[in-house]
Structure 1
Amino acid sequence: MAVHLSSSSTLLPSTTKLNHVSICPVSVNIPARKNIIGKVPVNRNRNAHRHFVLTKAKTSLEADLHEKDSVTTDDENDFGVVNLHHVGILCENLERSLDFYQNLLGLKINEARPHDKLPYRGAWLWVGSEMIHLMELPNPDPPTGRPEHGGRDRHTCIAIRDVSKLKTILDKAGIPYTLSRSGRPALFTRDPDTNALEFTQI
């Protein structure tokens, strides 16, 4: 259904400057707010209980005051963070690590990523739309003396749907893990090179 607004001047005083106008469906029984400036029934002929409410985000003066109260960003230094692209994980033996990440955890290799153009062996594994980059390089971290609970160590967190199923997989493989100390559905384990991994249920 399309809603046509001919002009904001028909709804607002000519002295009011709009920075943003939005239309959203709301229930008739919702109490009116201060920023509601008009109601347009969806269909007058069908006893509909939904209306489109035209809301004014801020006048220019209100917007200026709001900007002073909020955290400001320096556009000059905003280099455009988008998301996490990949996490690099060091391993001593690529085949052993691939057996863990690919065969046990079920991660798929991203064949499109270059693995033969680098001066060391490695592999790129999909984790949703991001990746883990396994790199066969000497690890500066000691393999022993790490915290028992991976949440107290440097770790990579992977979101999953079912922690209980992963627990079954790790139990069957004889891989130790610890549960989240907060009681949320999450566990911590380590890969063959003692890199800490968190799996949190979403």
Structure 2
Amino acid sequence: MPPTIEIISCLHTATIVSNLDRSIEFYSGILGLQRVDRALKYPGAWYQIGEFQIHLIENVDLVPNSIDLQVSTRNPHIALGVRDLEAAKQQLLAANCVVKMSNSGRAALFTQDPDGNAIELTLISWQSEQL
């Protein structure tokens, strides 16, 4: 029997964007993520969330995703934990972002970045972080 791969952590996800400046405005400005330095020689932006990173990689020829969050929230997405889901919802609505509450009834919502990449924001209580 072949050896089992032992995955010990998730390091990053790479998301393709068509307009890096517009995406930075969303990820830094609206979501408030902390940008980190990167040394690669192509257009992109890296964001640190705990031990995890989101890598935005620019491709100006990208055809934006056509995910319709109003129809289904079962799409490829990045899931992020938040301390105050209602505050996150209000901030997204104030920025004219699409907001769809989770169909499951749990404390989560879905939104999209400017290229249509789906993002889930889930309420993470302080108690559950201590487990």
The TM-score normalised by the length of structure 2 is 0.84
Give the corresponding residue for 1:115.
Answer: 40
Give the corresponding residue for 1:45.
Answer: none
Q: Which segments of structure 1 move beyond 3 Å, counting only runs of 4 or more? A: none
Count of residues paired in the alignment:
122
2:78 equivalent among 147, 156, 160: 156
Query: Is contact 2:17–2:58 with CA below 8 Å preserved after alignment?
Result: yes
1:95 equivalent among 21, 24, 33: 21
Query: Is contact 1:107–1:125 with CA below 8 Å preserved after alignment?
Result: yes
- Tell me, in whole angstroms, the C-alpha distance in 2 between the residues paired with 1:148 and 1:89: 18
1:82 has 2:8 as partner: yes
Query: Is contact 2:69–2:111 with CA below 8 Å preserved after alignment?
Result: no
- Among all aligned residue pairs of Structure 1 and Structure 2, give the percentage whose two residues are the same amino acid: 36
- Tell me, in whole angstroms, the C-alpha distance in 1 between the residues paired with 2:104 and 2:5: 35
- Tell me, in whole angstroms, the C-alpha distance in 2 between the residues paired with 1:148 and 1:107: 22
Give the corresponding residue for 1:41.
Answer: none
Q: Give the Å deviation of 1:128.
A: 2.2
- Tell me, in whole angstroms, the C-alpha distance in 1 between the residues paired with 2:36 and 2:7: 23
Indicate the RMSD between aligned Cα atoms, in angstroms.
1.7
Q: How does 1:140-179 map to 2 (within 5 A)?
A: 142-144=64-66, 146-149=67-70, 151-179=73-101
Q: Deviations over 1:126-167 (max 9, x none)?
A: 122201000002436x533x2334622111111111111101
Q: Unpaired segments of 5 or more residues in structure 2? A: 125-131
- Tell me, in whole angstroms, the C-alpha distance in 2 between the residues paired with 1:101 and 1:109: 9
For the residue of structure 2 that corresponds to 1:97, the secondary structure is helix
Q: Deviations over 1:5-30 (max 9, x none)?
A: xxxxxxxxxxxxxxxxxxxxxxxxxx
| Distance 1:175-1:163 versus aligned 2 partners, 3 A rule | same
Q: Which amino acid aligns with 1:139?
A: L
Q: Give the Å deviation of 1:181.
A: 0.8
Q: Tell me which of the two structures has the higher relative contact order, counting C-alpha pairs closer than 8 angstroms and 6 or more residues apart.
A: 2
- Tell me, in whole angstroms, the C-alpha distance in 1 between the residues paired with 2:35 and 2:4: 33
Give the corresponding residue for 1:139.
Answer: 62
- Tell me, in whole angstroms, the C-alpha distance in 2 between the residues paired with 1:93 and 1:133: 14
- Tell me, in whole angstroms, the C-alpha distance in 2 between the residues paired with 1:187 and 1:176: 10
- Tell me, in whole angstroms, the C-alpha distance in 2 between the residues paired with 1:180 and 1:143: 20
Q: Unpaired segments of 5 or more residues in structure 1? A: 1-73
